[in-house]
Structure 1
């Protein structure tokens, strides 16, 4: 559903608007056409104005699902996802999704009512009352802004969109006190976030980076989520330098994982960490190089580190930087390509193949249970399909290193915060954004049950959505960690649930796939069938 075009309601002349309409007008002015949330007693004045401004609400079953859906929407479109909650528990329900968006640099705007302006500091027992919503959200968002007048509402929304456009995108929260939502005031034209050009690199930094890279004998590229928008330049630069490419989870598929230079998502591999430490120059683009990327402390680098990042604070985090380039990744890499000499292209395909083999040998026994099924998934899915992932063994051990993705597709994983329950609602957000694109949610039984109620939302949308669930009877990763410590596993085994039957109970479809061929057939059917299809792959519990 598209937003209104000119004439925009109440945009040019002075008009009498309630705070609720002022808020919706401000969202519309920034191109918002979808909001994810659940109506509640305190936000009805906002919902009443959505239709007039062409904003369609998507109603999940839980606000955490709303947050993850808006996150998926934002990642696949590049536009901010908007969550509309009511006060108190509803806002806190969305907080885990806000934390995930912060960790993974996702532009997410959460809008909520709050207690009235004159509400006493001492508790009165009012409905949904809490001491401070803004203090709670400041712990997980880039900022939380409580407005103090109807006239301030559009400025607060513009502030959020300015953040999304001008700096590293991270979530923001805007709170509108209850009495302001219904208060009517005369307002002038809506205020909009200014257009902000992407930050270009300093020419001297580009020259220094180009000189460092052109002199490298053993270069490597590490690509994170900040490199996703610079896909063509990433590939061109790797080929110009003859440099193997390894990505973080957030950067998966930035360079096609079938490319001869691609090592895929491999920073967790001891063999790859040892190799990376020996490179004489490492070019890291849009990545924190953090413990969540390596699954351990980042290894020391023997060579020089050239770092490209939109966020200048990243130059002080992680390994020491030799050449900092603070800029938009696309502009920086385009400038680097122009400054580098032609014809470098070293022959390193054999080295890359050997490193891939070494990585796979390290985990061959552990990963063998997932690889045949993931190959079946890859054979069925289109090249531009979007896969949403959970913090589950089948995802981080299985799909991240073994399910190939190219620049046409996307793989969305909750990498930084490591939240459970992300895959299903994030897939809903992607499907809302791009209904004609294939979308697959990939999860484990433990993670799925954090947000399994969103099957009902998927049924309402009536869009094809397969959900593949590897069922190991509980929290498999924690079970394995307990055993590795010599502990007797406790509190990790879940009561068996007939998940396909549950999907059918919600009005969707459900089946089991006990071998890869069965999974391929079920997946192909699910991609053509309206509504969700939950496909369980049973795993033997050790």
Structure 2
């Protein structure tokens, strides 16, 4: 008879789990008993935070749930930051942890890795956190986790199993998994939205991260409405070079002006969050006239004033909406989109334009690549204005939770999810130092990731913010390691260049990833 820990692995396989990210520990041994004989691939990071960010990057690229195994106590506290990032960006993540034996939980006896109430702590971040105390609870807990991950907005869910329970025999006959019911299609709301859109003279579409896999449908909709499409950070790439596309942030004045002048705005898969819509925190985002929203979460739809809220998956709603719309409506969309793009770019500083130029050089050197970013200057600039050439191929931690150290491990997760696509990690010298040891995971797995380090010798973005606020600069100049020696110690190839020497393009194209990852350091004066 299998144990509860072994049966958990069987249950994950039934839900099509392919990869688990985790660091084996004394408190997860019973999980690994089942893992070794399964078809699930195990990736060993160097820190539980790395495990969580890898699961995040894997989920964003694969469209599946990212799974991480952690030990009780410090394992769970270390992964709380990635769980926060996953919650902010609606990324499906399943964290499975151990917890101390049931007979001493909460007693404060000083057992190894003991916390006062681990479950309650996880519940502050997770969409759901359940403890399995007997065999009969295991399958319902796993099914409930996947129900949340597959039918709701997405985010982290948590299951914990006490040490004494994990090794118990699975002496229970589970019921068969209940089939998911077909999602309800709100036809009345879709018809009402069509009525508004048909009469619109200056419609605008806002596409968010929930729309990144529906680029063809959104392009078709934009062409039908003759409507400009503003793409938030996580939607970049869905309309690369399309004349109706606006790859610019709603935080820019030009984009806000376009939205203010629109008589109907259709928001698709966006939470209208401040990290996209009010980066400068000036509170000047306009009240939208006749605002239609499509979102998978009814709670999310209720958080903003909405004329018509359509609850459902974007990929289910858009075909219905398109089938009811006339094929050709005119609203001077091409001119409005072109004018907005030009005006938005004109708002950027010279440094931002230079950084966006670097992004474009990277994009053109590696077409159709996945670019995973950390919170660093060119990423901030790109989030304001950058047209990527792959839907879902531009994402970073500078939105939502904003966790530093995201880039390196998330790029590893992305490369595991799609080994046939070039993955590029763009991180700053400061952010890289949060998760630098994860380079060894990329080396272990022989992943051909190109790690680009933007080395401006400190926390330059924070320094600029301090200066702008009239605050004396303190703590923004930590020394960076010698990245050439870091790369050598990890056994990965290394090159460097500056922005002034004109060699960025040739350096990018000559990166050697034949035996695994490579590093390029861009040295900023």
Instruction: Please report the TM-score for the alignment, with normalisation by the length of structure 1.
Output: 0.92
1:35 equivalent in structure 2: 20
Residue 209 in structure 1 maps to residue 212 in structure 2? no
Pair 1:230–1:409, CA change in 2 (3 A): closer
Secondary structure of 1:473's counterpart equals coil
Residue 488 in structure 1 maps to residue 472 in structure 2? yes
- For 2:103 and 2:207, how far apart are their aligned partners in 1? 49
- For 1:148 and 1:506, how far apart are their aligned partners in 2? 42
Once the two structures are superposed, residues 79-134 of structure 1 have per-residue CA deviations (whole angstroms, 9 ceiling, x without a partner) of: 10100011110111111000111111111000010011111532111111111111
CA shift, 1:191, in A, is: 5.0
Residue 264 in structure 1 maps to residue 258 in structure 2? no
CA shift, 1:372, in A, is: 3.0
Pair 1:338–1:262, CA change in 2 (3 A): same
Pair 1:520–1:529, CA change in 2 (3 A): farther
> Among 302, 316, 325, which residue is 1:331 paired with?
316
Secondary structure of 1:531's counterpart equals coil
- For 2:236 and 2:184, how far apart are their aligned partners in 1? 25
> Among 330, 336, 344, which residue is 1:351 paired with?
336
Contact 2:202–2:263 (Cα < 8 Å) also in 1: yes
- For 1:255 and 1:191, how far apart are their aligned partners in 2? 42
Contact 1:290–1:298 (Cα < 8 Å) also in 2: no
2:443 equivalent in structure 1: 459
Secondary structure of 2:192's counterpart equals helix
- For 1:79 and 1:418, how far apart are their aligned partners in 2? 22
Residue 75 in structure 1 maps to residue 64 in structure 2? no
Secondary structure of 1:204's counterpart equals helix
CA shift, 1:408, in A, is: 4.9
2:296 equivalent in structure 1: 310
1:19 equivalent in structure 2: 4
- For 1:505 and 1:483, how far apart are their aligned partners in 2? 37
- For 1:526 and 1:124, how far apart are their aligned partners in 2? 54
Instruction: Please report the TM-score for the alignment, with normalisation by the length of structure 2.
Output: 0.95
Pair 1:477–1:527, CA change in 2 (3 A): same
- For 2:181 and 2:81, how far apart are their aligned partners in 1? 30
Ranges in structure 2 where 5+ consecutive residues have no aligned partner: none
2:519 equivalent in structure 1: 534
Secondary structure of 1:537's counterpart equals strand
Once the two structures are superposed, residues 19-62 of structure 1 have per-residue CA deviations (whole angstroms, 9 ceiling, x without a partner) of: 21121111111111210010011101111211322111100101
Where in structure 1 do 4 or more consecutive aligned residues deviate above 4 Å? none
2:379 equivalent in structure 1: 395
Ranges in structure 1 where 5+ consecutive residues have no aligned partner: 1-15
CA shift, 1:298, in A, is: 6.2
> Among 190, 195, 214, which residue is 1:230 paired with?
214
CA shift, 1:136, in A, is: 1.2
> Among 260, 265, 277, which residue is 1:277 paired with?
260
Contact 1:306–1:321 (Cα < 8 Å) also in 2: yes
1:450 equivalent in structure 2: 434
Root-mean-square deviation (CA), in Å?
A: 1.7
1:194 equivalent in structure 2: 179
CA shift, 1:525, in A, is: 3.1
Secondary structure of 1:369's counterpart equals helix
- For 2:151 and 2:102, how far apart are their aligned partners in 1? 31
Q: How does 1:491-530 map to 2 (within 5 A)?
A: 491-515=475-499, 517-526=502-511, 528-530=513-515
- For 2:301 and 2:392, how far apart are their aligned partners in 1? 30
- For 1:353 and 1:513, how far apart are their aligned partners in 2? 34
Pair 1:315–1:371, CA change in 2 (3 A): closer
> Among 448, 462, 469, which residue is 2:453 paired with?
469
CA shift, 1:401, in A, is: 4.2
CA shift, 1:189, in A, is: 4.9
- For 1:135 and 1:526, how far apart are their aligned partners in 2? 47
- For 1:157 and 1:298, how far apart are their aligned partners in 2? 44
CA shift, 1:242, in A, is: 0.7
- For 2:288 and 2:360, how far apart are their aligned partners in 1? 36
What is the aligned residue count?
A: 520
Q: How does 1:366-381 map to 2 (within 5 A)?
A: 366-381=351-366
Residue 340 in structure 1 maps to residue 321 in structure 2? no
